[in-house]
Amino acid sequence: MLMKMNFVILGAGSVGFQLAKYLIEQNNNVALIEKEPDKAKHASNVLDCMVINEQGNNIETLKKAGINKADYFISVTDSDEVNMIACSLVASEFHVPHKIARIRNIDYSGTRVLQQPILGIDYFVNPEIETARAIIRAVEGGAVSDIVYFEKSSLQMRSITVSGSSLLRDKCIEEVKRTIQTNFLVAVILRENEYIIPHGYSVVKENDKLYLIATAENFEKIFFQIGKGRIEMNKIVLIGGDRVSIYVAEHFLENKKKDLSIFGRLLRYLKPMKKRKISIIDSDYNNCKLLSDRFPEAMIFNSDISDEGFSEEEELAGADLVIAITGNQEFNIVNAVYAKSVGAGRTMVLVNKSNYVHIASNLGIDVAVSQIESMVNSILKYIRKSNIRSVYSISGGKVEVLELAVEKASRTIGKKIKELKLPRQTLIISVTRGDNHIIPDGELTLKNGDYIIVIARKESVARIEEIFTS
């Protein structure tokens, strides 16, 4: 986003609010439409943008929001129908280059939708699918942390929360590297909701969350040395039987049913896993019947873990991994802590609030996946589709990790990194050149075809894009 752009967002729920907040802080023009008075009032009080408390499927309301000048129309209400109709209305009545819709019901996502725009919608984003992708990636990595993949690099980014007994506590970064004796880079330290771009003498404290960059092979060594080596996950228990749970179970069980083939294509870039023993615990009897029909090879338990008479404790105690993915994030955290206390090997939870990710880590939960962050990152990746290949926000959106291509006409070709005049607290943490991954210093000269991974403050992203654009 090299210049200020105009966005009209329909829906001021958690996704719409976070997306608007991010775009405003990037110095874009944002208009937010929300029919619920309480949500509209909250957004108006907190966000520095136009907030219209009206129905969004209305031509006059859209005009009032500045749709005639919009570069993007993004509909992220809780209703698939509203989002689809709104995008269709905008496509038929106005010339808006990009229309994005949040679609939860996979039945709407037929083959045509995956291959070309339909109903005027240029990009579909499904919260449950984005969440399932994040969960599956974490499980493939051993369920020891969240994982960020990069498109043109074999490097990954993962996180470690430093406990009171950790061998990393009270060591500077150089000491940490000598202790672990594996090639990696500490990209960011999160400390009490603030972030630090560290140097070699930065000291790691208890409860810090470290974001590391390394290869998959080196991460195996790192986690082994800190006591989180890979374990066989032959038995997985899912707490909650909603769509996210269904998509995750589908991947684990390699179910080939025709009605699930669409989702299979949506996850086609994830490697299929060997079959696992899957159990699903859900408190809704009718939903359990549906799950039993859908996954006859899984064990389905109609039970409420919060009941004193809960009788499936042995299922949790014998599990290699317990994933709590109900719609209640507090319930998920409590269930995961309980599962760990009775003997579960690893635990994972679904949360919405970004600060709950850190809370979950401090409670001994191995992985916390934020549905809101997964959604927002997916939308941002579409918005930034020039020479930026990947985008990932951390620290509640305060810091971004970007993967950029150094393209043929880029002004950076032939320049040393120290000559780029990068914004303050910006760090180029990796350069991929062919099959080689370089941890650069200021003397490295950039070449055509390089792919670089940059970490920076959110407010610096526009300047970074400007530097690397042709």
- Going 401 to 427 to 470 to 434, the CA torsion angle's sign is negative
Question: In the CATH hierarchy, which fold is given to the domain comprising 6-125?
Answer: Rossmann fold (3.40.50)
CA–CA distance, 240 with 291 (Å, rounded to integer)? 11
111: confidence class by pLDDT, cuts 50, 70, 90: very low
Question: In the CATH hierarchy, which fold is given to the domain comprising 133-225?
Answer: Alpha-Beta Plaits (3.30.70)
**pLDDT value, residue 395:** 65
Strands (DSSP E) found in 59-178: 72-75, 98-102, 123-125, 147-150, 153-161
**pLDDT value, residue 387:** 58
Q: Taking 80 as the threshold, does the pLDDT of residue 112 lie above it?
A: no
**pLDDT value, residue 154:** 80
CA–CA distance, 276 with 235 (Å, rounded to integer)? 6
Find the mean pLDDT for residues 193-222: 87
- The DSSP-derived string for 161-199 is E--TT-TTTT-BHHHHHHHH-S--EEEEEEETTEEE---
Q: Which residue has the higher pLDDT, 267 or 381?
A: 381
Q: Taking 70 as the threshold, does the pLDDT of residue 108 lie above it?
A: no
Q: Which residue has the higher pLDDT, 230 or 73?
A: 73
Q: Do β-strands 388-394 and 367-370 pair in parallel, antiparallel, or remain unpaired?
A: unpaired
CA–CA distance, 211 with 370 (Å, rounded to integer)? 16
SS3 369: strand
- Asked which of 196-210, 301-315, 337-351 is least confident by mean pLDDT, the reply is 301-315
Q: Which residue has the higher pLDDT, 261 or 169?
A: 169
Q: Are 104 and 243 in contact (CB under 8 A)?
A: yes
Question: In the CATH hierarchy, which fold is given to the domain comprising 241-374?
Answer: Rossmann fold (3.40.50)
Say what the pTM is: 0.79
Q: Taking 70 as the threshold, does the pLDDT of residue 27 lie above it?
A: yes
| pLDDT, mean over the chain | 85
397: confidence class by pLDDT, cuts 50, 70, 90: low
319: confidence class by pLDDT, cuts 50, 70, 90: very high
**H/E stretch holding 302:** strand 299-302
Question: In the CATH hierarchy, which fold is given to the domain comprising 377-468?
Answer: Alpha-Beta Plaits (3.30.70)
**pLDDT value, residue 39:** 95
Domains 241-374 and 377-468 share a fold: no
Strands (DSSP E) found in 192-247: 194-196, 209-215, 235-239
Length of the chain in terms of residues written: 470
Domain ranges of the chain: 6-125, 133-225, 241-374, 377-468
Closest alpha carbon to 370 in 356, 359, 390, 383: 356
Q: Taking 60 as the threshold, does the pLDDT of residue 323 lie above it?
A: yes
Q: Taking 90 as the threshold, does the pLDDT of residue 130 lie above it?
A: no
Q: What is the tens place of the pLDDT at every residue in 226-280?
A: 888 888 888 999 999 998 999 999 988 874 444 444 445 445 445 545 567 999 9
Q: Taking 70 as the threshold, does the pLDDT of residue 114 lie above it?
A: no
In DSSP terms, 453 is beta-bridged to 403, 430
**pLDDT value, residue 1:** 43
- Asked which of 4-18, 98-112, 245-259, 261-275 is least confident by mean pLDDT, the reply is 261-275
Q: For tokens 């269709």, what's the residue?
A: 88
Find the mean pLDDT for residues 22-38: 90
CA–CA distance, 47 with 50 (Å, rounded to integer)? 8
